[in-house]
C-alpha cells in the first residue's frame, strides 16, 4: 500500500524550509559583538565544539581589526592543532556543459549563445583521465551542467568509467560529484557507482535573491535545491558537500545559512557536511552582474576563518577560481582541500598546448593555472604535506573528517602516515626535481616528528615496498 497524506487524512501542508531568512537577519541584527564574547567563542571552537548561529553571528559582526586578527589566529591555531599541515589535492573534470538552466552568473547558462556546448565522449573521458593520471592525480570531482542528458544513469556510467581507467601506475581512487540535485531514486543510482562526496551548492541561501539569479529551468525551484542533500541522505549517501557562491548576496547571511544547513544535516541525519565550499563569483563570459555583494580579499579571509571556527570538523575546499596569493593565505586559516593543475575547458587536459583560456568552453575564469607539480613544490616550501589519501572512504571509515577531528590520535595514526605514503608514491611515479629531493626531505621531517616509533617503522617499511614497485598502500 502506498502511503500518501490522504491515507492518514492529513492535509498536504507545504513543508517549511529549514532556512528562515527573517530568523537569520534578526540574529545578525541583534547580536552584539564584544571583545569578551569574541574571545569566548574562539575558545569554544578551540575546545572542538561547533558554534551555534548566535556564536557565529558574534564573529560575523566583529569589525575591530584586532579582533578580526584574533579570529584568523584562532582559525590558524585550530587548523594546526587539529589537522596539522596536510592538504588534500584533487582535480575537477568537466564532463558536459549543456544546461537547461539560466543562472545569470554562469558561462554554461542556457541563454549564453556564445558557449560551445560539449559533452565528452567516453573515449574523450578516458583520454582526459589518462592525462590526469599521467600527472599523478588520484582524486577527481566530475562536474556536469543540468541537462536531461546528464541523468543519474549517465552520471553513474561516467563515474564507473573514471574508476576503470588505469594507465601505468595511474588510477583514480575517489570520484566526487558536482551535479544538479537528483530525486531519491537518482541518488540511489549514483551511490551504486561508488561515488565519494556529492556536492550541491545552494549558491545563495536567500530566497528572494535566489529568484533573481535563477530565471528558468529546474534550478529556479529554491526549495528543491535546498533539500537536495536531504534526498541524498534518504538514498543512503551520507557524504555530502554544501556551499554558497559568494558575491550573490550579503556574505554574512550566507555564512549563517551554511551553519544553519550544517545544523539541519546534523540534527536530521546525525552527520554534518563532509565539505563546505565557498567559491567567489568569477568573471565568466557573462552579462553585467552588479558588484553590490562583491566580497573583497579581506572579508574573504574572514569568511574562511569564521567557517573554520564555526564547523571545526568539516573539510574546507578552495578552488583555482582564486589567485595564488589568496590560496596560499587561506591555506593557513583552515582550507583542507585544493585542486591542482586545473583546466576548465572541456577536453583540455588531454591537449598539450592551451595557453589562453577559451571562456566560451569553460564555466568561468580560473586564476591559478599552476601545474600540479608547481603546486606540490610550493606546498612543500610552505611546510605543507600534500596528500592524495583516499583510505578512509575505501575502508568504510566514513565521516573521516569527523574522526580526524574527534578521535584522539586519529591524524597521527592514519592521516599523516597515509599522506606520507601517497606523497612517496607520487614522487616515485611522477616526481620531478626539485620536488623529489624536497619531498623526501619533508617525509623525513614528518617521520621524525611522529612520536609513535612503531608507526614510523611501519611507514618506512611501506615506503620501501613502494620503491620496490608496490602501490596503493595505506593504513
Ligand atoms: N550544474 C550544477 C549546478 O549548478 O549545481 C553543477 C555544476 S556548476 C558548474 C558548479 C558550481 O559552479 C555552481 O554550483 C556554482 O556555485 C559555481 N559557479 C557557477 N558560475 C560561477 C562563476 N561565474 N564563478 C564561480 N563559480 C561559479
Ligand atoms: Fe547550469 Fe550549473 Fe551553470 Fe547553473 S551553475 S547554468 S545549473 S551549469
pLDDT digits (tens, 9 = 90+) for 264-281: 999 999 999 999 999 999
User: Closest ligand to 204 CA?
Assistant: 1
128 and 232 in a single domain? The answer is yes
224 and 333 in a single domain? The answer is yes
What per-residue confidence (pLDDT) applies to 1?
47
204 and 294 in a single domain? The answer is yes
- Is 25:206 a contact under the CB 8 Å cutoff? no
- Give domain status of residue 344, yes or no: yes
242 and 162 in a single domain? The answer is yes
Last residue of one domain, picked from the residues 370, 397, 415: 370
- Which residue pairs, CB below 8 angstroms and at least 24 apart, start in 46-52? 46/74, 46/77, 46/78, 46/81, 48/82, 48/312, 48/313, 48/405, 48/406, 49/312, 50/262, 50/266, 50/272, 50/310, 50/311, 50/312, 50/313, 51/259, 51/309, 51/310, 51/311
Q: Is 243 in the pocket of ligand 2 (CB under 6 A)?
A: no
- Whose cell is 543510482? That residue is 189
Higher pLDDT, 267 or 361: 267
Ligand 2 centre and the CA of 347: distance in Å? 18
What per-residue confidence (pLDDT) applies to 437?
98
354 and 224 in a single domain? The answer is yes
Domain total in the chain: 2
- Give the pLDDT mean for 102-130: 94
What per-residue confidence (pLDDT) applies to 4?
54
- Give domain status of residue 29, yes or no: no
User: Closest ligand to 100 CA?
Assistant: 2
What per-residue confidence (pLDDT) applies to 363?
64
- Give the pLDDT mean for 443-448: 97
Last residue of one domain, picked from the residues 370, 392, 416: 370
**Rounded to 5 degrees, what angle do the CA atoms 112, 115, 120 make?**
135
- Give domain status of residue 1, yes or no: no
411 and 359 in a single domain? The answer is no
**What is the domain-level CATH number for residue 312?**
3.20.20.70
Ligand 2 centre and the CA of 146: distance in Å? 6
E-strand stretches of 361-400: 385-387
Residue 256 has pLDDT above 80, yes or no: yes
Provide the residue range defining the domain that includes 316: 78-370
- Give domain status of residue 21, yes or no: no
- Give domain status of residue 474, yes or no: no
What per-residue confidence (pLDDT) applies to 81?
86
188 and 95 in a single domain? The answer is yes
What per-residue confidence (pLDDT) applies to 288?
60
pLDDT in tens, 283-325: 644 456 668 899 999 999 999 999 999 999 999 999 999 999 9
- Give domain status of residue 459, yes or no: yes
> Which range among 246-250, 355-359, 409-413 has the greatest average pLDDT?
246-250
Q: Is 203 in the pocket of ligand 1 (CB under 6 A)?
A: yes
Ligand 2 centre and the CA of 101: distance in Å? 6
What per-residue confidence (pLDDT) applies to 14?
60
Ligand 1 centre and the CA of 58: distance in Å? 30
289 and 432 in a single domain? The answer is no
- Give domain status of residue 116, yes or no: yes
Element (H, E) at 92: strand 86-96
Nearest ligand 2 atom to alpha carbon 97: 8
Q: Which of 94, 101, 113, 277 to mutate to test the pocket of ligand 2 (most atoms within 8 A of CB)?
A: 101
202 and 333 in a single domain? The answer is yes
282 and 426 in a single domain? The answer is no
334 and 450 in a single domain? The answer is no
- Give the pLDDT mean for 220-237: 96
**Nearest-angstrom CA–CA distance, 257 and 260:** 5
For the entire predicted model, the pTM comes to 0.94
pLDDT in tens, 58-98: 999 999 999 999 999 999 999 998 888 999 999 999 999 99
Best CA proximity match to 428, nearest among 470, 371, 377: 470
Last residue of one domain, picked from the residues 342, 370, 398: 370
354 and 427 in a single domain? The answer is no
- Give domain status of residue 377, yes or no: no
Amino acid at each position: 500500500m502506498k502511503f500518501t497524506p490522504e491515507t492518514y487524512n492529513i492535509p498536504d501542508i507545504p513543508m517549511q524550509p529549514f532556512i528562515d531568512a527573517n530568523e537569520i537577519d534578526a540574529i545578525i541584527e541583534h547580536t552584539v559583538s564584544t571583545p569578551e564574547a569574541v574571545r569566548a567563542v574562539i575558545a569554544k571552537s578551540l575546545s572542538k565544539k561547533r558554534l551555534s548561529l548566535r556564536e557565529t553571528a558574534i564573529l560575523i559582526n566583529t569589525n575591530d581589526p584586532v579582533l578580526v586578527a584574533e579570529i584568523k589566529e584562532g582559525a590558524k591555531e585550530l587548523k594546526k592543532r587539529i589537522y596539522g599541515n596536510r592538504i588534500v589535492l584533487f582535480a575537477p573534470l568537466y564532463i558536459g556543459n549543456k544546461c537547461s538552466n539560466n543562472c545569470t552568473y554562469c558561462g554554461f547558462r542556457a541563454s549564453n549563445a556564445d558557449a560551445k556546448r560539449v559533452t565528452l565522449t567516453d573515449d574523450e573521458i578516458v583520454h582526459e583521465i589518462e592525462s590526469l593520471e599521467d600527472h599523478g592525480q588520484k582524486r577527481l570531482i566530475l562536474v556536469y551542467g543540468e541537462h536531461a542528458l546528464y541523468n543519474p544513469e549517465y552520471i553513474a556510467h561516467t563515474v564507473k568509467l573514471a574508476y576503470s581507467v588505469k594507465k601505468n601506475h595511474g588510477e583514480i581512487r575517489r570520484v566526487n560529484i558536482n551535479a544538479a540535485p537528483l530525486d531519491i531514486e537518482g541518488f540511489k543510482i549514483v551511490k551504486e557507482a561508488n561515488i565519494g562526496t556529492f556536492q550541491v551548492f545552494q549558491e545563495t541561501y536567500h530566497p528572494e535573491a535566489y529568484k533573481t539569479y535563477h530565471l528558468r529551468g529546474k534550478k529556479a525551484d529554491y526549495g528543491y535545491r535546498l533539500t537536495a542533500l536531504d534526498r541524498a541522505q534518504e538514498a543512503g549517501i551520507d557524504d555530502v558537500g554544501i556551499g554558497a557562491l559568494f558575491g550573490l548576496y550579503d556574505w554574512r547571511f550566507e555564512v549563517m545559512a551554511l551553519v544553519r544547513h550544517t545544523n539541519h544535516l546534523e540534527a536530521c541525519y546525525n552527520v554534518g557536511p563532509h565539505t563546505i565550499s565557498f567559491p567567489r563569483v568569477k568573471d565568466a563570459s557573462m552579462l553585467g552582474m552588479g558588484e553590490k555583494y562583491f566580497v573583497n580579499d579581506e572579508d574573504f579571509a574572514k569568511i574562511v576563518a569564521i567557517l573554520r571556527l564555526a564547523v571545526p570538523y568539516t573539510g574546507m575546499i578552495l578552488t583555482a577560481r582564486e589567485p595564488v596569493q589568496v590560496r596560499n593565505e587561506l591555506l593557513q586559516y583552515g582550507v583542507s582541500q585544493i585542486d591542482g593543475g586545473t583546466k576548465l575547458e572541456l577536453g583540455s587536459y588531454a591537449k598539450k598546448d592551451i595557453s589562453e583560456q577559451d571562456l566560451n568552453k569553460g564555466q568561468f575564469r580560473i586564476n591559478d593555472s599552476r601545474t600540479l607539480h608547481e603546486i606540490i613544490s610550493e606546498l612543500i616550501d610552505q611546510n605543507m604535506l600534500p596528500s592524495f589519501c583516499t583510505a578512509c572512504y575505501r575502508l568504510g571509515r566514513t565521516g573521516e573528517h569527523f574522526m580526524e577531528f574527534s578521535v584522539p590520535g586519529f591524524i597521527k595514526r592514519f592521516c599523516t602516515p597515509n599522506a606520507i605514503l601517497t606523497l612517496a608514491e607520487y614522487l616515485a611515479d611522477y616526481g620531478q626535481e626539485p620536488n623529489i629531493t624536497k619531498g623526501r626531505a619533508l617525509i623525513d621531517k614528518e617521520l621524525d616528528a611522529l612520536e609513535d616509533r612503531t608507526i614510523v617503522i611501519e611507514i618506512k617499511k611501506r615506503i620501501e615496498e613502494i620503491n620496490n614497485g608496490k602501490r596503493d598502500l595505506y593504513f
